[in-house]
Amino acid sequence: MNEQKNDEDTVGTDLSTVREEINRIDRELLRLLSERRACSSKAVQVKELVHSPIRDRGREEQLLLDRIQIAKSFGLDAHYTTKVFHQILDDSIHAQQEHLQRLANADKAGDALVRVAFQGIEGSFSHMAALECFSSRTSQAVYLGCQTFKEVMTAVEQGRADYAIVPVEDTSSGGINEVYDLLLHTQLAIVAEKKSRVVYCLLALPAATLSGIKKVFCSPAAALQCSNFLSRLPNCHVEYSTDASLSGKRISEGSDKSVAAIASEEAARLFGLAVLERGITNQEENYTRFLIAARKPVKVDLRIPCKTSIVISTAQKPGALVEALLVFRENGINLTKLESRPVIGNPWEEMFYVDFEGNLEEDRVKLTLDELTRKARFIKVLGSYPCEEVPPTQISAKQRLNSGANAGAEIKPVAKAAAPAPKVSSKAKGYRLGSREYKAEDTIIDVRGIKIGGGGFVVLAGPCSVESYDQVMACAREVKENGGVILRGGCFKPRTSPYSFQGMGYEGLDILAQAGRKYGLPIITEVLSIEDMERVAEKSDMIQIGARNMQNFTLLSEAGRMHRPVLLKRGMSSSLEELLQATEYILAQGNQQVILCERGIRTFETATRSTLDLSAVPVLKARSHLPVIVDPSHAAGERDLVPPLALAAKAVGADGIIVEIHPEPEKALSDGPQALRFPEFADLMLRLLA
**pLDDT (tens digit, 9 = 90+) per residue, 426-459?**
444 678 999 999 999 999 999 998 999 998 999 9
| Interhelix angle 576-588/616-623, nearest 10 degrees | 40
Q: Which amino acid is at 88?
A: I
| 9 pLDDT more than 60 | no
For the ranges 168-177, 383-392, 404-413, 537-546, which has the lowest average pLDDT?
404-413
Helix (H, G, I), strand (E, B) or coil at 346: coil
pLDDT at 110: 52
CA distances to 152, 412, 489, 601 from 639, rounded to whole Å, are: 63, 18, 17, 18
Name the band, by pLDDT with cuts 50, 70 and 90, for residue 404.
low
Q: What is the pLDDT of residue 350?
A: 84
Mean pLDDT in residue range 622-639: 95
Quick one: the chain helix, strand, coil %, rounded to 5?
40, 20, 40
DSSP state of 466: -
Q: Which of 164-168, 184-188, 396-400 has the highest mean pLDDT?
A: 164-168
Coil, helix or strand for 505? coil
Residue 240, SS3? strand
284 CB burial (10 A radius; 0-12, 13-18, 19+): middle
Active site residues: 288, 290
Mean pLDDT of 100-115: 74
The rounded distance, in Å, linking the Cα atoms of 416 and 649 is 10
Lowest model confidence (mean pLDDT) among 33-47, 511-525, 613-627: 33-47
DSSP string across 295-331 = SS-----TTS-EEEEEEEEE-SSTTHHHHHHHHHHHT
- Do 71 and 78 contact (CB within 8 A), yes or no? yes
Predicted local distance difference test score (pLDDT) of residue 396: 75
Cβ(311)–Cβ(378) below 8 Å? yes
Domains identified in the chain and CATH numbers = 21-104 (1.20.59.10), 201-280 (3.40.190.10), 299-390 (3.30.70.260), 424-494+502-600+608-689 (3.20.20.70)
Share of the chain above pLDDT 70, in %: 91
pLDDT band at 674 (very low <50, low <70, confident <90, very high): very high
- Spatial contact of 287 and 197, defined as CB atoms under 8 Å apart: yes
The CA–CA distances, whole Å, from 145 to 126, 153, 338, 477, 650 equal 9, 12, 30, 45, 59
Cβ(434)–Cβ(580) below 8 Å? yes
pTM above 0.85, yes or no: no
Read off the pLDDT band of 251 (50, 70, 90): confident
Confidence band for 106, pLDDT divided at 50, 70 and 90 = confident
Q: Where are the beta strands (DSSP E) in 420-468?
A: 445-447, 450-452, 458-462
CB-based contact 335:325 (threshold 8 Å): yes
- CA 168 – CA 290 distance, rounded (Å): 6
